[in-house]
A = this chain, B = another copy of it.
Amino acid sequence: MEIREIYDSYKELLDQDVEVKGWIRKHRKQKEIGFIDLSDGTCFKRIQVVYDKSIKDFEEISKIHFGSAIQVEGTLILSPASGQDFELRSKEIALIGDCSEDYPIQPKEHSREFLREQAYLRPRAALFQAIFRVRSVLSIAIHEYFRLHGYIYLHAPILTASDCEGAGEMFQVTTQDLDEIAKTGEVRYDDDFFGKKVGLSVSTQFEAETFAQAFSKVYTFGPTFRADKSHTPYHVAEFWQIEPEVAFCDLEGIMDIAEDLVKFVIRYTLEHAKDEMEYLDKYVEKGLIERLSKILTCKFKRVPYKDCIEILKKSDKDFEFKPEYGADIAKEHEKYLTDYFKCPFFLTMWPKELKAFYMKQMPDGTVAGADLEMPGIGEVFGMSQREDDLDKLVSRMKELDMKIDEYEWYVKLREYGSCERSGFGIGFERLLMFITGIDSIKDVTPYPRVHKSCDF
């Protein structure tokens, strides 16, 4: 029986015999009695196993190491102790798999840095039990949102011969033997697997746009890669991204969807990972649940870039970067603005020079793009209406000296039943950091890949 099942219906199970398997997360032995906290990971909670001298092999059992896998048969009874409703009074305990004494994870507090070095073991620690279950619940919340709203889930390709917006940050993928290249002094793409230069996709937006023009509502949710050397708490080289794309939808429409999605997944996670979120609220960020609950009740403002610049200019704060129309919004500005509005808000209508070429151009030199800014974290993700006009798109690409023939099919999409459409791209791990209160992206990523580190 799974521990989750026992918690779900322990009242019906009282005084009955059950069998559970799991790992020892705590083992306190006294002369006449022993207590084991047993976890099988099917829920955040553990079950207390009690055994006494009446059990066969009492001495051997009391020596079973922390971390070992065991099987317990016993009777579920109301617990005389406080702190739990029931406990498992054991009749038989069998060792399944011993845990050697050099086990790095001991029943004490380890630093998160230490646990990162034990990435293959850290999911057993309570903190990572919480984080990785929330990660799973949040992923399912995202699929659930799009399913309920009739979106198609698209698996866009990772391997790509085109380069969306990742110039210079793209990993190259090859089957050429590098040593052979060094030896012969020759790079031979005709011998490479695809017969040409190929890299790892930095965005699925373009492919999503092609599908949006067939299915109206589509999203991708998969890994994305950037060879970004930044050593910040927000950067990993491999991360998951959610990119919806919606036809017949303008910037206002996509902001509605973004707000609705964010609120839906927060609500879903609070409901479906209750124990984990309470743990994170207690041990990681006091007030976490309250902070998230507040978001659910507030309407996200939509503030044009030019108004934000005005607000920043009027402030008496001494910014390192002087706020000025045409200049980017720095982290310090984001912080000021989110404090100012006290609520998530969309920073909209940016000067086109600050944003990507594919955003819808407006007559006043801005583009119909927006960033969602969150208190405490700043920009979480960006969105835009796409330029659906062939001529405007091409002229902007020419201004930027882009090679139009490398984007042939993307451009051609505007010739065949083009329509207004919009989309956004959420960095999944950043959203997860926001929801768990964890301040390092390495700790919400099962096996983080960063500059100079690809272990496990």
Contact = CB atoms under 8 A, between A and B. Distances in A.
Interface stretch (A131-139, A312-320, A391-399): A131-139
A215 B125 CA distance: 11
B178 A172 contact: yes
Contacts of A156: 446-447
A452 B456 CA distance: 31
A147 B137 CA distance: 9
A237 B159 contact: yes
Interface string A144-174: 0001001111111111111000000001111
How many identical chains are in the complex?
2
A404 interface: no
B240 A155 contact: yes
Interface stretch (A282-290, A303-311, A359-367, A414-422): A414-422
B456 A409 contact: yes
Contact of A174 (B99, B136, B172, B416): B172
Nearest to A40: B216
A69 interface: yes
A103 B415 CA distance: 8
Given A446-B157, A454-B194, A213 B124 contact: yes
Contact of A136 (B121, B152, B186): B152
A388 interface: yes
Interface in A388-446: 388, 409, 412-420, 445-446
Q: Pick from A67, A132, A193, A419 the residue with the most CB of B within 10 Å.
A: A193
Contacts of A414: 97
Contacts of A453: 194-195
A21 interface: yes
Interface stretch (A217-225, A255-263, A347-355, A378-386): A217-225
A150 B42 contact: yes
A97 B419 contact: yes
Given A150-B42, A213-B124, A454-B194, A447 B171 contact: no
Contacts of A136: 151-154
A196 B171 CA distance: 14
A152 B181 contact: no
A81 interface: no
A98 B413 CA distance: 11
Given A159-B454, A173-B171, A211 B446 contact: yes
A418 B97 contact: yes
B185 A182 contact: yes
A23 interface: yes
A455 interface: yes
A327 interface: no
Contacts of A184: 182
B215 A69 contact: no
A140 interface: yes
A222 B221 CA distance: 9
A446 B415 contact: no
A451 interface: yes
Interface of A: 2, 4, 21-24, 40-42, 67-69, 96-100, 102-103, 120-121, 123-124, 128-129, 132-133, 135-136, 139-140, 143, 147, 150-162, 171-176, 178-179, 181-187, 193-196, 198, 200, 207, 210-211, 213-217, 222-223, 225, 227, 229, 237-238, 240, 247-248, 388, 409, 412-420, 445-447, 449, 451-456
Given A40-B216, A193-B237, 9 more contacts: A21-B247, A41-B216, A97-B419, A135-B153, A159-B171, A159-B454, A171-B175, A182-B184, A198-B454
5 contacts: A21-B247, A99-B415, A100-B415, A132-B215, A181-B182
